[in-house]
């Protein structure tokens, strides 16, 4: 049975299809992100070893490709030094805690918006902010990869916030 709202129309009738789809996608992505954050936190030492090994192989291949080009060698070394921070178990644990938090907040925001509560939009925006700030907080604002991740998360966050914003008029 669908819950009734004061004017006699059901919530499912009033909930736009775009909002329903966005919320379901957020439930799926948020749930998977939450579980992945837990998995990463628990297995940080194992993942650290895997990332270290991958970085070592990548460094060897890139050094072979740029051999003799001093400028390219400096770029490769800079890229590898920025990447090394991503393999430290302590950083992996901090990053996964931020991921768990951001996904929990996103799930709460999506649930509230699914229930047509306008406050869910602001909760969801907070989750986007946590996601954007977390790589910078964990790896530093001078880490090129962390900044790149933050920029990508900003673009995704703006697009999703815009799509959710199209539905604010349907929320109370």
Report the sign of the C-alpha dihedral through residues 75, 76, 81, 84, in that order: positive
- Give the N- to C-terminal CA distance of the chain in Å, as an integer: 21
Percent of the chain scored above 90 by pLDDT? 69
Assess whether pLDDT exceeds 70 at residue 6: no
4 pairs with which residues across the strands? Answer: 10
Query: What residues form DSSP beta bridges with 10?
Result: 4
pLDDT at 71 over 90: no
Give residue limits of the domains in the chain: 18-170
For the entire predicted model, the pTM comes to: 0.83
CA angle 124, 142, 76 (to 5 degrees): 115
Q: What is the predicted pLDDT for the residue at 41?
A: 97
Q: According to DSSP H, which parts of the chain are helical?
A: 11-14, 17-42, 44-65, 70-84, 89-114, 119-139, 144-165
Region 118-134: mean pLDDT is 97
pLDDT tens-digit series, residues 85-97? 888 999 999 999 9
């Amino acid at each position: 049975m669908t819950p009734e709202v004061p004017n006699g129309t059901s919530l499912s009738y009033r909930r736009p299809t775009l909002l329903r789809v966005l919320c379901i996608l957020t439930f799926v992505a948020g749930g998977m992100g939450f579980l992945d954050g837990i998995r990463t936190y628990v297995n940080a030492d194992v993942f650290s070893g895997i990332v270290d090994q991958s970085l070592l192989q990548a460094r060897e291949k890139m050094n072979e490709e740029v051999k003799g080009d001093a400028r390219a060698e400096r770029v490769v070394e800079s890229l590898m030094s920025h990447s090394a921070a991503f393999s430290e178990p302590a950083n992996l644990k901090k990053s996964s805690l931020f991921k768990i938090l951001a996904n929990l907040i996103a799930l709460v925001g999506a649930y509230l918006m699914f229930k047509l509560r306008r406050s869910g939009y602001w909760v969801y925006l907070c989750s986007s902010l946590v996601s954007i700030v977390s790589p910078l907080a964990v790896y530093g604002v001078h880490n090129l990869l962390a900044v790149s991740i933050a920029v990508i998360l900003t673009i995704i966050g703006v697009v999703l916030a815009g799509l959710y914003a199209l539905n604010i008029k349907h929320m109370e």
